[in-house]
Amino acid sequence: MLSDEETEIVLAQQDPAQFRPLYNRYYQPIFIFILKRVESEALAADICSEVFLKALTNLPKYEMRGFPFSSWLYRIASNEINTFYRKQKKNRVVSITDAGIHSLFEELDEGEAQENLLMLKRIMGELDETSIQLIELRFFEKRSFKEMGEILEITENNAKIRTYRLLAKMRKKFNKK
Amino acid sequence: MTPIDFKINPEPVSEDAVERHRDFDALMRSYQIKNKNLDRRSRKTPLHRKKWVVIGLAALMGFILFTIISGYFVTFWGNSKVETPIEYRLEEID
């Protein structure tokens, strides 16, 4: 038995015009997701329209594998953001909040001094894209491990393990410097 | 190494800002243009991939190869090398 969303996906696979309900539902979260990772609203809008165009073009190939449809859209958005930074050779933007910094430094056993913020910038710059995303999703977007798993298409447990390993690695780097 | 810029405490995006960019009709127009281009590209077969060109070239190469091999045998078949017996050669030296 298909859920409402799965029915919408099947309908959209047969007729692209039926993509509207999915587009309306996910436009805002995807737009915000992109906006947090790029410098301007106009750029976020451009990347977002490219994401939905790719989704619509590749929808006939989409298979339901137990992950929510949104995770597929987030994956496309992540890839588009990566492609943008690779082509433009610009600095990767990470949106940080005071609350996020506070909880991250608490996990890293560090104070919130300005030099620690600079060091965090340097350490995050040495990480690969998935690790940066883990930090962003967990600390600056306050997502649960379940949501992180869905966005990164890994299990909840795996998201947890990877985050804690990454924190341990970052803690070591903080202590070394 | 990915150089990073921090966007500190960004303003939460307003509902209006999102609405301004949401445009399903524009998406459908882009989709139709992209789809038409993909369709046109898949329908147009380049000359070097046309069936009759590929078969014709293969046949021509086969014919050339056959001519070279048969030409070699026609020219050299039966013309065995005649060697001078060793005694004659020794006499010449003397």
Instruction: Categorize the per-residue pLDDT at A110 as very low, low, confident or very high, splitting at 50, 70 and 90.
Output: confident
Strand partners, B5: A93
Same domain, A42 and A108: no
Q: Is A117 part of the contact surface with chain B (CB cutoff 8 Å)?
A: yes
* pLDDT value of position A164: 93
Residue with the larger pLDDT of the pair A107 and A110: A107
CB A108 within 8 A of CB A171: yes
In a domain, residue B21? The reply is no
* pLDDT value of position A19: 92
CA distance A82 to chain B (A): 11
Domain span at B69: 47-79
* pLDDT value of position B64: 97
d(CA A122, CA A136): 15
Strands A92-96 vs B4-8: parallel, antiparallel or unpaired: parallel
**Among A153, A160, A60, A170, residue whose Cα is nearest residue A108:** A170
In a domain, residue B60? The reply is yes
Q: Which of A53, A70, A88 is the last residue of a domain?
A: A88
Q: Is B17 part of the contact surface with chain A (CB cutoff 8 Å)?
A: yes
CB A3 within 8 A of CB A10: no
Average pLDDT, chain A: 88
Same domain, A82 and A105: no
Report how many domains make up chain A: 2
DSSP one-letter code for A96: E
Same domain, A82 and A16: yes
**Average of pLDDT values for A155-176?**
90
Domain span at A22: 4-88
Among A14-18, A149-153, B23-27, where is mean pLDDT lowest?
A149-153
d(CA B32, CA A47): 18
For residue B40, what is the enclosing H or E element? helix B24-43
Contacts with B21 from chain A: Cβ below 8 Å? 31, 41, 44-45, 48-49
* pLDDT value of position A152: 85
Q: Which of A32, A61, A88 is the last residue of a domain?
A: A88
CA distance A91 to chain B (A): 5
For residue A148, what is the enclosing H or E element? helix A145-152
Same domain, A63 and A107: no
Residue A32 CB neighbour total at 10 angstroms: 17
d(CA A101, CA A143): 14
Residues A21-56 have pLDDT tens digits of: 999 999 999 999 999 999 889 999 999 999 999 999
For B8, which residue in chain A has the nearest alpha carbon?
A96
Q: Is A45 part of the contact surface with chain B (CB cutoff 8 Å)?
A: yes
Q: Which of A29, A64, A88 is the last residue of a domain?
A: A88
List, run by run, the mean pLDDT of 10-residue segments along chain B (94 residues): 81 86 92 81 79 94 96 82 66 62
Residue with the larger pLDDT of the pair A108 and A112: A108
Residues A60-104 have pLDDT tens digits of: 988 887 788 898 999 999 999 989 988 888 888 888 888 888 888
Same domain, A10 and A41: yes
B14-18 long-range CB contacts below 8 Å, 24 or more apart? B17/A41, B18/A27, B18/A28, B18/A31, B18/A32
Instruction: Categorize the per-residue pLDDT at A154 as very low, low, confident or very high, splitting at 50, 70 and 90.
Output: confident
Same domain, A111 and A68: no
In a domain, residue B36? The reply is no
Show the tokens assigned to A34.
């992109």
Residue A117: pLDDT over 90: no
CB B27 within 8 A of CB A23: yes
d(CA A161, CA B28): 41
Q: Is B9 part of the contact surface with chain A (CB cutoff 8 Å)?
A: yes
CA A17 to chain centre: 27
Report how many domains make up chain B: 1
Residue with the larger pLDDT of the pair B84 and A169: A169
* pLDDT value of position A81: 92
**Among B12, B10, B13, residue whose Cα is nearest residue A97:** B10
Q: Is A121 part of the contact surface with chain B (CB cutoff 8 Å)?
A: yes
ipTM: 0.77
- Percent of chain A past pLDDT 90, that is, above it, reads 41
Strand partners, A92: B4
